[in-house]
Amino acid sequence: MKIIGFWLLLGLVLAVQIGLMPALRPFGAVPNLMLVFVVLVGLAGTASTALIAALIGGLLLDLTSGADFGLRIGLLVLAALVTGLVHRAGLTLAGPAVVMAVVAAGTVVENAAVLAGLAGSGTGWPLGFIVGKLALEVVLNLGLILMMRPLVARLIADAGTQSVN
Amino acid sequence: MHRSKASRRIVIAVGIGGFLAVLGLLGWLGPLRWVYDRTVVPVSHGLASVGSNANEALSNLGRIKSLASDNQRLQQENASLRQRLAADAEIRRDNEILRNQLGLEVAGAPKQVAAEVVAFQPDSYRQFVTINKGSREGLKPGLAAMSGGVLVGTLSDVSVTTSKIMLVTDPEFKLAAKDQDTAADGTLQGQLGNGLVMGKIGQDSQVRPGDTITTSGLGGHVPAGLFIGQVQSVNAHDNVIFQSAQISSPLKINRLRFVFVVMSP
């Protein structure tokens, strides 16, 4: 585990996730680069490092958000814990499929949690819009995995770590 | 031994996460928010501007084909608005004269505070923006924010140097509104998918497509007469208590750069 690489990449991911992504909104959705990062770090490094990233990232995202305080800390900590369990079970050898499965599941859980918070708001529930947005977010997050994996492997994972390669 | 150490770290991390979440929910993260406003917000501000510009450039590329027809439509709209403005100026002058003769106070325009958008909501469904003005400039929760003459939303959370605006398109946004053309009252509510609906319009009230919808000034700190949008379609049935209307707002959230907070009169 390379500590300097970890902190550099964490700063970069946070800057992009908080400043750039919500303003850019590719196709109207906000991809979750922080979730991708936490999962990749959990598989490339240790559960403790993934938890540190989850705590810092979740807290800053919650402070940026105007609603649902605690949701992002909770989701990212959960993602770090699940990734730690997956890593410990040795499933990481299965290649990118594991990362993709955890990120896709995390995206679905995050969307479900945000929508659950709106249950009493009296808003309409356009199913096509919700499914479309979710599918788009999953696709964007999976695309981000492809971009982030080589960076995490180069800057964070120790030589010989197989988990993200 | 190594495993128990790792487990202990995990328990500590989860505990810290839970503790921070509880502090945040109780509104006790003041010092942390202070640090956030002075470290993260400046970085986010720069990147949000870059993101907004890139978004606008991409969307302009996609609109090149329709620019000529848009231009023609806007010129017609401009001519019609100029005509209406001239008529309104005449009415305002008459109103002032009559109010002076009756000894009534002449209402002045409320004070506005200009602010820059420094961050957007980091998820796809909720609609908030953060601005770089806070309680130091006299802002308080509930005040209205405008951009380009259109109501953007109301302040939901105010710290010393920054504030969060809940946008009109957020599914939890609710505000008293009225049809300026027929004086029908209702409640404006944001919808999932950036829609806007004016509900709770009485069956005996009249609302027509094309009518102008403004704030009604009932309750809270939002003055009456702030432009929200126009009626797109009306949903009225004999077997329901209220009518509802779909409202179209000219607001483009991703292009929000500056807003004006309307101080209470």
- As a residue count, chain B comes to 265
Percent of chain B at pLDDT > 70 equals 96
Q: Which residues of chain A lie closer than 8 angstroms to B21, CB-CB?
A: 62, 69-70, 73-74
Q: For residues B163 and B131, is the Cβ–Cβ distance under 8 A?
A: yes
**A5-47 per-position pLDDT tens digit:** 899 999 999 999 999 999 988 888 999 999 999 999 998 888 8
Q: Which residues of chain A lie closer than 8 angstroms to B120, CB-CB?
A: 22-23, 25
A vs B, Cβ pairs < 8 A, gives 172
Substitution target from B36, B124, B198 for chain A, most A beta carbons within 10 A:
B124
Query: The whole model's pTM is what?
Result: 0.86
This complex has an ipTM of 0.87
CB contact under 8 A, B119 and A84: no
**A43-76 per-position pLDDT tens digit:** 888 888 899 999 999 999 999 998 888 899 999 9
- Could you give the CA distance from residue B112 to residue A116 in angstroms, rounded to a whole number? 36
| Interchain CB contact of A77 with B (< 8 Å) | yes
**B183-201 per-position pLDDT tens digit:** 899 999 998 886 899 999 9
- Report the gap between the CA of B75 and the closest CA in chain A (Å): 29
Partner residue facing A77 (CB), from B13, B120, B172: B13
Tokens of B238: 């004999």
- Could you give the CA distance from residue B144 to residue B221 in angstroms, rounded to a whole number? 7
- Residue B57's closest chain A neighbor by CA? A24
Nearest in space to B138 (alpha carbons), one of B264, B232, B6, B4:
B264
- Over chain B, what is the mean pLDDT? 87
- Residue A76's closest chain B neighbor by CA? B17
**A100-151 per-position pLDDT tens digit:** 999 999 999 999 999 998 888 777 788 999 999 999 999 999 999 999 988 8
Q: For residues A92 and A43, is the Cβ–Cβ distance under 8 A?
A: yes
CB contact under 8 A, A62 and B24: yes
Write out residues 103-132 of A within 8 Å (CB-CB) of B: 110-111, 114-115, 118, 121-126, 129-130
Write out residues 50-69 of A within 8 Å (CB-CB) of B: 51-52, 54-55, 58-69
CB contact under 8 A, A29 and B124: yes
Would you state the pLDDT for residue A108?
A: 96
Would you state the pLDDT for residue A22?
A: 92
Would you state the pLDDT for residue A8?
A: 92
Confidence of residue A159 (pLDDT cuts 50, 70, 90): very low
- Report the gap between the CA of A112 and the closest CA in chain B (Å): 11
Q: Exposure pattern of A32-58 as b/e (b: 16+ CB <10 Å)?
A: bbbbbbbbbbbbbbbbbbbbbbbbbbb
CB contact under 8 A, A114 and B126: yes
- Could you give the CA distance from residue B149 to residue B89 in angstroms, rounded to a whole number? 17
Most confident option among A9-18, A63-72, B62-71, B213-222? A9-18
CB contact under 8 A, A65 and B121: yes
- Could you give the CA distance from residue A113 to residue A54 in angstroms, rounded to a whole number? 17
